[in-house]
Structure formats: C-alpha cells, structure tokens
Amino acid sequence: MSRQKIRRLAANLVLVLVLSLGLLGLFGNCSEKKSKSERQPSTGLTESQRDSVIAASRLPGARVVGRAMALSDSAKARAKRIDDGQP
C-alpha cells in the first residue's frame, strides 16, 4: 500500500470514529429520563423545610445553608416592601 492510501484510510477511520461517537452521544441523550420523584425518595418536606433541617444540623457547610436562607428571606422581605410601596 502506498502512503497516500494509508493516509486516506486513516482519515476515513477517524471520520467514522468521530461520527460514531457523535451518534452515540446523540442517542444516549434520548434515553428515558426518570422523573424527580423516581430519582430520590420523597420525604414530604418542602425545599425550605429541608434546608432548615440541614441548617440546624452539624454537617459541614450547614452554617452556610442557614446564612443563604437568611439572605434569601431578607431579599424576599425587601422585595415585598418595595412592591407594597414602603421604603
């Protein structure tokens, strides 16, 4: 085989490989996705209640969750005051 034929064969092989991987990725994303309730068992708590439980725990980063909740509550209260026309 000549070098030109080998190069063409290698180029075709790379092209087939790239296209195959692209199709595999495309069809891999089309698989059936589980709903949120199927992924994790439901505890019956709202997101805010779950965050409160985490903030009260001794887990690493729990204090940060508590601070984030406090900031969120503060921002909501401020937005409500602005919407109501109070300074």
The structural domains of the chain, with segments of one domain joined by +, span: 3-28+45-84
CA–CA distance from 52 to each of 26, 29, 60, 63 (Å)?
A: 40, 35, 14, 10
In the three-class reduction of DSSP (H, G, I as helix; E, B as strand; rest coil), residue 51 is classed as helix
pLDDT at residue 35, as a whole number: 57
**Mean pLDDT of the 9-26 span:** 85
pLDDT in tens, 19-66: 888 887 777 766 666 655 455 556 788 888 888 888 899 988 888 998
CA distance 49 to 42: 13
74 band by pLDDT with thresholds 50, 70 and 90: very high
pTM for this predicted structure: 0.46
